[in-house]
Amino acid sequence: MGPVEYMIMTFPTTSLDSRVGPSVQDLVDTGLISVLDMLFVTKDIDGTVTALEADQDSGLESLTVIDGEVGALISGADIDYVGDGLLPGQSALVLVCEDRWARALGDVLRDSGGVLYEGARIPTDVVEEAWTDIEVVA
């Protein structure tokens, strides 16, 4: 198995763009990831947090196209964490996936006694700003 990561993708409304599910499925189809768990979390205007699976709401129909073994990795504490970070009227897609593209590296790490100690995603705006600063200097 390759490294497993989670992603929290936030949206400015409690609805989901219908292009999100097919876009995730494209990553599955190309073999880059395997979906291990997924939930859609909303925070109503009154602050109520709700976690839904793809088949629990007709507005999440685009997520039903995603092939994966969904369940048991996203906990109640995870849902609370995501909900605490959302503003009223916002939503998030929480995705736990295996990075299949890194399976060979994972095998080598395990065989050599190594461990993937930590990893994180760098926000796009931070990368873009850094690249802009580099271009100005160059």
136 in a structural domain: no
* Domain boundaries, position 87: 4-101
133 in a structural domain: no
pLDDT digits (tens, 9 = 90+) for 68-93: 877 789 999 999 999 999 999 999 99
Sign of CA dihedral 51, 53, 56, 61: positive
74 in a structural domain: yes
45 in a structural domain: yes
- In angstroms, the CA 66 to CA 78 distance is 21
Residues 6 or more apart in contact with residue 59 via CB below 8 angstroms? 15, 16
Mark out the alpha helices in the chain (DSSP H runs): 20-29, 76-85, 103-111, 124-137
Give the count of domains, the chain. Answer: 1
Question: What's the pLDDT band for 138 if we cut at 50, 70, 90?
Answer: low
127 in a structural domain: no
Residue 115 has pLDDT above 70, yes or no: yes
Locate 85 and state its tokens. Answer: 């970070």
Question: What's the pLDDT band for 67 if we cut at 50, 70, 90?
Answer: confident
57 in a structural domain: yes
Amino acid at 80: D
Question: What's the pLDDT band for 136 if we cut at 50, 70, 90?
Answer: low
90 in a structural domain: yes
Q: Cβ(38)–Cβ(108) under 8 Å?
A: no
124 in a structural domain: no
pLDDT at res. 33: 94
Residue 9 has pLDDT above 90, yes or no: yes
49-52/33-43 β-pairing: antiparallel
- In angstroms, the CA 93 to CA 52 distance is 10
Locate 15 and state its tokens. Answer: 């609805």
Question: What's the pLDDT band for 137 if we cut at 50, 70, 90?
Answer: low
